Amino acid sequence: MEKASRPSQLFRNLSAKFAAIPMVLTALVIFVGCTVWSFVYSFTRSKLLPKPLFTTEDLFSIPMPTWLIKDGSFDVYYITGFVTKSFVGMAQYDRLWSNSRWLTSIENLALYAGFALVFSLVVGFILAAFMDQKIRFENTFRTIYLYPYAMSAIITGLVWQWILNPTFGIEKIVRGWGFENFEFAPLQNPDLVMFGILIAGVWQGTGFIMALMLAGLRGIDEDIWKASRIDGIPMWKTYIKVVIPMMRPVFVTTLVLITAGILKVYDLVVAQTNGGPGLSSQVPAMYVYSYLFTAQNLGQGLAASTMMLLGVLIILIPWTIIEFGGKEKR
Amino acid sequence: MTAIDVNIEAVEPRGTKPKKVLSNRNIMVYGVLIVAAIYYLIPLYVMIMTSVKGMPEIRMGNIFSPPVEITFEPWVKAWAHACTGLNCDGLSRGFWNSVMITVPSTIISILIASVNGYALANWKFKGANVFFTILIFGAFIPYQVLIYPIVLLLSQIGLYTKLAGLVIVHTVFGMPILTLLFRNYFISLPEELFKAARVDGAAFWGIFIKIMLPMSLPIFVVAIILQVTGIWNDFLFGVIYTKPANYPITVQLNNIVNSVQGVKEYNVNMAATMLTAIVPLVVYFVSGKLFVRGIAAGAVKG
Amino acid sequence: MNKSIEVKDLDLAFGSVKVLKKLNIDIFEGEFLVLLGPSGCGKSTLLNCLAGLLDITDGQIFIDGKNVTWAEPKDRGIGMVFQSYALYPQMTVKGNLSFGLKNQKVSKEEIAKRIAYAADILQIEDLLDRKPAALSGGQRQRVAIGRALVREANVFLFDEPLSNLDAKLRAELRVELKRLHNRLGNTMVYVTHDQIEALTLADRIAIMRSGIIQQLDDPHTIYNKPTNLFVAGFIGSPSMNFLKGEITDGGKAFKFGNTTMSLDGYDGGKLTDGTAILGVRPEYTTVDTTGIAGKTLEAVVDLDEPMGSDSLLWLTAEGQAMSVRIKAEDIVDKKTVVHLKFDMTKASLFDVNTEQRI
């Protein structure tokens, strides 16, 4: 009698494992490996090129407690950790948070994110609710609202730069109507520039939010609407008291998606203002890019990028717990 | 007024309830939708109008007025003669670069992700879900965290600034959303089909090619839409992982429009912008609802 | 009896598709009327028209003598219960019951009174502070009924309310509904595709097909004197046996194959000789081991299907498959030749062309 031998675990599903190699490599090398690398090197004094973490010199010298020394190249006292020849503890982060350009970037991002979130959620939902009224030409409206989303943020930035151009655009037209002192040059005004970008960003993104919301609305049991009509609830009240609470998951998901997208905002600003005037429309992604590739201060760029990652995690982790933590218990 | 009222009183309600076409509700709904539609259409309108005007007309008139004299000169110039730095061969170079980047990136990323999604849906192996979870969370990692180490990796294998390097980058960053898309689609197919094929003796690749592929045309179209528009519109990876001669169209467009040298030719700029927008717009208008399905499928479940 | 609902010449079309055609129906006060039919027959559509959730194309609807053709659902004096319950998921049971009332500016004391009343009748007092997600299917359906109850509506509309429940619960709630109707005594219109529900609950059943009411009668009549072939075939499980043959002997006998059966006791119109279809229910057929050749139908047993309380015998007679219900203890072996005798007082004859009962 021949005994059927159980195939080794390793070789079961071999084709599937083979097919998954790109995924495994991407997950491990790129998403885990590169993130860890960036994180580690954000604690180094890497300039143009990454500095080796340990040099032979380190073998012969005792790493110094950082709170004792003052580094020549960084005008700060290290607060924590030990330094080697390249390892500088939290120095890059100290410097980051005392850099006015970074602080401007964070302020800009917060401003942009706050307005963009509220605006695109409210407008997106209202448009979706109106689209859900069994209207005619629904497809036409949807096509119009969504086409900007198909285009590059570069295009969005450039076209709105043109429309907001004070010499030729809206300002000129309104002045032409007789309002000689009308001023509308958000992209040239450091105080308003983020709103100029907001106009373009909302233009591009709201259609997408509308589509998500509309899908959410269509997912609501039609009997709910019937029940509320029989109860004699006005439509607006049904939306506020019944439908919106029911769409909570859609709102949360949308919120996470918009926020994650906003943190990455880069192309749009590059095209529309390139961070100007001056440094007034800088965003974190731009800060990272310039320190990594032009200012030749790798450690600083990586520290900034790590802060961006932290920002994403702050949004992502609670969301994951709410969204998936509950499900597993069931 | 009273006459109408009397009339309504007199008629016993019968049949469809009479409705005013111009009810307050309709005016509000359509009013808001139309105003929003105008806001959305203005930039496209301005782009097209500006791109067919001559510079003198732009200086004199306003950006919303239709052209007095239509000229396609700016389009020709944008395509063939516009300057980026010292190069003055127009946007055509970037256009063909983008084609050369988009086509292989789309094909390779979809091939890899579809097979991978199929493996995840039907051939679960130990640890598969761990990697898949990492992949999905990876989609949320800001690119800024990853771009520099990837530069180093690509330099190591000699593909930095090469087209192949950029294709790899697009494949990697497209993988989370595409894998999710395909995995969810294959999971939605009836499992019995897969089981029946296995009982009939078909194996991994046989089932994929003979059973799954013929049933997945729509999802492939969705994936193609997603990738073509995404890759064509990419700016960041293009600027980082290619050299100026290989710059994709978006990077070149930005360089043309935002170059500080010379007199600004707004009509050429807008023609160049339109030229860049054409590919995704055509994809969008042709694909219609599938586009919505693609972004929704990619986003909501992400 | 007073009419509670009157439907006059109701037409409903979606574009060029006519869903309801010249429909007329009167429903009396306190009546339990069931709309029954296969899916797509228009029964739910009719209910939605009564509720005012669908705009009709032509015709009129009266509720309690009032023309409500153009009235809003909330002004029609109706309550409605849906298949998916349609409870507001973010509100407690109490919130669900009171939401509509609050909106109609009913006083707080009155709301509390009505909720207490409904909760008492439906025995959901303990559930008032729970949210729908924390309720079982049966409990949810009770709350949904409660929502109709607190409206103090004269007419209750049910749209397949038990379809989402499992068989056991469905049977329980069926009895409860019947009790509720007895207690409240208001008009109920109930849509279902389940004939057991229809037969058990209804005072009258309206059987619909493609937008037309085929028969409107009490369950007994529907079952025993189906007006046409469709109704005969739709009601009853297993289905009625249909034998195509000829009426002979001046309407006194029915010839099926080589057997000529006496039509003595047939309850129907005047019979004339000619081709017809004889419909007999499986339970109105007796099986004997012996019979009279040429007078009783000879059949071969194919299969015995014991159902517990009784058995179903599948046989072939004159090349046609038939089923007969027999007592559980009457065991008949396969391939046995038996003789069938039909109870003609409970049989139906149908015209071949018009398919109407003769």
DSSP string, A144-169: HHHHHHHS-HHHHHHHHHHHT-TTTS
Q: Are B125 and B235 members of one domain?
A: yes
Q: Are B45 and B182 members of one domain?
A: no
Which residue in chain C has the smallest CA separation from B18? C70
- Say how far residue B269 (Cα) sits from the centre of its chain: 21
Q: Which residue has the tokens 């005004």?
A: A189
- pLDDT score, position A129: 94
**What is the rounded distance in angstroms from the CA atom of residue B268 to the CA atom of residue B274?**
10
A242 near C CB under 8 A? yes
Q: What is the pLDDT of residues A53-85, one digit of tens each?
A: 655 555 555 555 444 444 444 434 443 444 556
Question: In angstroms, what is the C-alpha Rg of chain C?
Answer: 24
Cβ neighbours of A241 in C, within 8 Å: 88, 90-91, 99
**What is the rounded distance in angstroms from the CA atom of residue C61 to the CA atom of residue C7?**
5
**What is the rounded distance in angstroms from the CA atom of residue A234 to the CA atom of residue A81?**
63
Q: Are B145 and B36 members of one domain?
A: no
**What is the rounded distance in angstroms from the CA atom of residue C319 to the CA atom of residue C299?**
9
Whether the Cβ atoms of residue C247 and residue C212 lie closer than 8 Å to each other: no
Which residue in chain C has the smallest CA separation from B15? C58
Q: Nearest CB to B138: which of A27, A37, A172?
A: A27
Assembly ipTM = 0.87
Hey, what domains does chain A have and what are their CATH numbers? 14-91 (no CATH), 100-296 (1.10.3720.10)
C59 near B CB under 8 A? yes
**What is the rounded distance in angstroms from the CA atom of residue A164 to the CA atom of residue A173?**
11
A223 near C CB under 8 A? yes
Residue C33, H or E segment: strand C32-36
- pLDDT score, position A73: 47
Q: Which two tokens stand for residue B164?
A: 């192949």
Chains near A (3 or more Cβ pairs under 8 Å):
B, C
**What is the rounded distance in angstroms from the CA atom of residue A177 to the CA atom of residue B286?**
40
Cβ neighbours of A233 in C, within 8 Å: 99-100, 103
Cβ neighbours of B17 in C, within 8 Å: 55, 69-70
B296 near A CB under 8 A? yes
B182 near A CB under 8 A? no
- pLDDT score, position B45: 93
| For testing contact with chain A, the best of B63, B91, B144, B292 (most A CBs within 10 A) | B144
Per-residue pLDDT of chain A (330 residues; tens, 9 = 90+): 445 555 566 666 788 888 889 999 999 999 999 999 999 888 888 777 776 665 555 555 555 544 444 444 443 444 344 455 667 778 888 888 989 999 999 999 999 999 999 999 999 999 999 999 888 898 899 999 989 988 899 999 999 999 998 888 888 888 888 888 888 888 888 889 999 999 999 999 899 899 889 988 988 999 999 999 999 999 999 999 999 999 988 888 888 888 878 887 899 999 999 887 888 899 999 999 999 988 888 889 999 999 999 988 988 888 888 777 655 433
Whether the Cβ atoms of residue C78 and residue C51 lie closer than 8 Å to each other: yes
Which residue in chain A has the smallest CA separation from B237? A267
Neighbours of B283 (CB within 10 A): 18
Whether the Cβ atoms of residue C61 and residue C7 lie closer than 8 Å to each other: yes
Which residue in chain B has the smallest CA separation from C58? B15
Positions of chain B with pLDDT lower than 70, given as ranges? 1-11, 86, 294-302
A179 near B CB under 8 A? no
Q: Are B25 and B118 members of one domain?
A: no
**What is the rounded distance in angstroms from the CA atom of residue A302 to the CA atom of residue A91?**
12
* B19/chain C closest Cα distance in angstroms: 10
A314 near B CB under 8 A? no
- pLDDT score, position A67: 46
Q: Are B120 and B35 members of one domain?
A: no
Cis check for the bond before A52: say yes or no (omega within 30 of 0): no
Cβ neighbours of B16 in C, within 8 Å: 55-58
Question: Is residue B232, in this structure, part of any structural domain at all?
Answer: yes
Cβ neighbours of C57 in B, within 8 Å: 15-16
* C56/chain B closest Cα distance in angstroms: 5
Q: A230, C99: Cβ pair inside 8 Å? A: no
User: Who wins on pLDDT, C88 or B260?
Assistant: C88
Q: Nearest CB to B15: which of C57, C68, C71?
A: C57
C57 near B CB under 8 A? yes
Whether the Cβ atoms of residue C271 and residue C358 lie closer than 8 Å to each other: yes
Question: Is residue B39, in this structure, part of any structural domain at all?
Answer: yes
Q: What is the percentage of chain C residues whose pLDDT exceeds 90?
A: 57
Cβ within 8 Å of residue A189, ≥6 positions away: A277
Helix pair B217-233, B266-287: axis angle to 10 deg: 170
Write down the domain spans for chain C: 3-234, 241-351
Q: Which two tokens stand for residue A144?
A: 């119009």
Q: A173, B41: Cβ pair inside 8 Å? A: no
* B222/chain A closest Cα distance in angstroms: 13
* C274/chain A closest Cα distance in angstroms: 51
Q: Are B67 and B96 members of one domain?
A: no
| For testing contact with chain A, the best of B42, B141, B259 (most A CBs within 10 A) | B141
Q: What is the pLDDT of residues C261-283, one digit of tens each?
A: 888 888 888 888 889 999 999 99
Chains near C (3 or more Cβ pairs under 8 Å):
A, B
Whether the Cβ atoms of residue B163 and residue B101 lie closer than 8 Å to each other: yes
* HSE-up (13 A, CA, CB side) for residue B238: 30
CB–CB contacts below 8 A, B to C? 27
| For testing contact with chain A, the best of B19, B33, B228, B232 (most A CBs within 10 A) | B33
Q: Nearest CB to B141: which of A135, A267, A312?
A: A312
Neighbours of A286 (CB within 10 A): 22
Q: Which two tokens stand for residue A231?
A: 């109860």
Are C3-234 and C241-351 the same fold in CATH? no
Cβ neighbours of A235 in C, within 8 Å: none
Q: Which of C268, C276, C210 is nearest to C248 (CA)?
A: C276
- Alpha helix segments (H runs only) across chain C: 43-51, 93-103, 108-122, 137-150, 167-184, 195-201, 219-224, 229-234
Domain count, chain B: 2
Q: Which of C70, C74, C78, C73 is nearest to C27 (CA)?
A: C78
Cβ neighbours of A312 in B, within 8 Å: 140-142
| For testing contact with chain B, the best of A15, A48, A137, A152 (most B CBs within 10 A) | A152
Question: Is residue B56, in this structure, part of any structural domain at all?
Answer: yes
Question: Is residue B76, in this structure, part of any structural domain at all?
Answer: no
Q: Which two tokens stand for residue B100?
A: 């050369």
- pLDDT score, position C323: 92
- pLDDT score, position A183: 81
Q: Which two tokens stand for residue B123?
A: 């051939």
Q: C103, A226: Cβ pair inside 8 Å? A: no
B160 near A CB under 8 A? no
- Domain of B240 in residue numbering reads as 92-300
- pLDDT score, position A326: 54
Q: A227, C48: Cβ pair inside 8 Å? A: no
Which residue in chain A has the smallest CA separation from C88? A242
Supply the CATH number for residue B268's domain.
Answer: 1.10.3720.10
Q: Which two tokens stand for residue C208?
A: 């619909």
Q: A223, C103: Cβ pair inside 8 Å? A: no
- The secondary structure of C122-154 as a DSSP string is HT-GGGTTS-GGGS-HHHHHHHHHHHHHHTT-S
B285 near A CB under 8 A? yes
Question: Is residue B54, in this structure, part of any structural domain at all?
Answer: yes
The backbone region for B220, taken as left when phi is positive above 0, alpha when psi lies in -120 to 50, beta otherwise, is: alpha
Question: Is residue B86, in this structure, part of any structural domain at all?
Answer: no
Q: What is the pLDDT of residues C198-225, one digit of tens each?
A: 999 999 999 999 999 999 999 999 999 9
CB–CB contacts below 8 A, A to B? 256
| C-alpha pair distances (Å), B192 with each of A221, B118, B188, B189, B205 | 29, 15, 11, 9, 17
Q: Are B54 and B114 members of one domain?
A: no
A27 near B CB under 8 A? yes
C241-351 fold: OB fold (Dihydrolipoamide Acetyltransferase, E2P) (2.40.50)
Q: B15, C67: Cβ pair inside 8 Å? A: no
| Sheet of strand C253-256: strand arrangement | C259-262, C253-256, C241-248, C274-280, C348-351
Question: Is residue B84, in this structure, part of any structural domain at all?
Answer: no
Q: Nearest CB to C53: which of A226, A245, A246?
A: A226
- pLDDT score, position A134: 87
Q: Are B138 and B54 members of one domain?
A: no
- pLDDT score, position C251: 86
Q: Nearest CB to A230: which of C80, C83, C89?
A: C80
* pLDDT reading at C13 higher than 70: yes
* HSE-up (13 A, CA, CB side) for residue B178: 29
Q: A155, B132: Cβ pair inside 8 Å? A: no
Question: Is residue B230, in this structure, part of any structural domain at all?
Answer: yes
Q: Is 3.10.620.30 the CATH classification of the domain at C3-234? A: no
Q: Nearest CB to A176: which of B62, B141, B302?
A: B62
Cβ neighbours of C103 in A, within 8 Å: 231-234, 237
